[in-house]
Structure 1
Amino acid sequence: MTRAGNFESCDFASDEKDVRDKFWRTARKAARHIPFMEDVVAAYYCALDKQTPLRAKGILLAALAYFVLPVDAIPDMIFGIGFTDDIAVLTAAIAAVRSNITPAHRLAAREALARLD
């Protein structure tokens, strides 16, 4: 692993590919369970933005990977509580990097969510 400031980077290319491949399928399922879905989609666009600092990208990709992976602390298919752990992880990640999520990311999120309806 390499050092980037105080943040140890990981295999971002692999994480990014996993998130890209599974994000929209999971987002469609989660949209009615996660009240701040626009923030989650904006975080997705922020994580994929080449201008996003490496530390913020790493935090977001880790949280989004947790969101899209089928195996986590509380399986997503459990009605009513399946996305609660995902919500906690996403809330913490978004709060940690909120200053990196730009108006352009938010606009792209609103447009993408409008297309999902």
Structure 2
Amino acid sequence: MGLPDFMKYKDKFTPKEFVEKIQRIAKRAGAKMVYGALILFYTLDSDKVSVKDKAIIIGALGYLISPLDAIPDAIPLAGLSDDLAVLIYVIHKVWGEVSEEVKLKAKAKLTQWFEEDEIKEADNLFLEDPNQGPV
């Protein structure tokens, strides 16, 4: 199965809708997925990110909050797997442009929605060597 056309979701994304959706699915999605989404969301503010990469990020976040998915979110376990796959794909693409400040901001936001032991789940999203990109 190929990745979706990210740009068809560009009109479904607003920062408010993104935050509302993430809050609704946070516990079900898990800290790893939420952390990835927050990384992309906060990366949008970076002046180091090209317009092309910002468009891809917006498409991925739009796909995440869209009620129309390749695998419906309501399906237990599998429902969010396509969303996570899209997020990971885009994180790999823009990883070199993700600042330490963005990572810290995303981790700080996780503390509002998750317990400390749940936040550790997000740690395995990235390798120790940031030049190698996320796991």
Q: TM-score, normalised by structure 1?
A: 0.75
- Whether the 8 Å CA contact 1:56–1:100 is kept in 2: the answer is no
Q: 1:18 aligns with which of 13, 18, 22?
A: 13
- CA positional deviation for 1:36: 4.3
Tell me the equivalent position of 2:43. Answer: 46
Deviations, residues 50-103 of structure 1 (Å, cap 9, x unaligned):
512212111111111100111111111111111011111111111011111111
Tell me the equivalent position of 1:113. Answer: 110
- CA positional deviation for 1:30: 4.0
Tell me the equivalent position of 2:29. Answer: 33
Give 3-state SS (helix, strand or coil) of 1:81's partner: coil
Deviations, residues 7-59 of structure 1 (Å, cap 9, x unaligned):
xxx7xxx9388241221232231444343432321111102x15122121111
Point out where structure 2 has 5 or more consecutive residues left out of the alignment. 1-6, 115-135
Point out where structure 1 has 5 or more consecutive residues left out of the alignment. 1-9
Aligned runs of 1:1-117 on 2, under 5 Å? Answer: 15=10, 18-28=13-23, 29-34=25-30, 35-47=32-44, 49-51=45-47, 52-117=49-114
Q: Name the Cα RMSD after superposition.
A: 2.3
Q: TM-score, normalised by structure 2?
A: 0.66
38-47 or 16-25: which moved more? 16-25
What is the alpha-carbon distance in structure 2 between the residues aligned to residue 100 and residue 26 of structure 1? Answer: 25
Give 3-state SS (helix, strand or coil) of 1:74's partner: coil
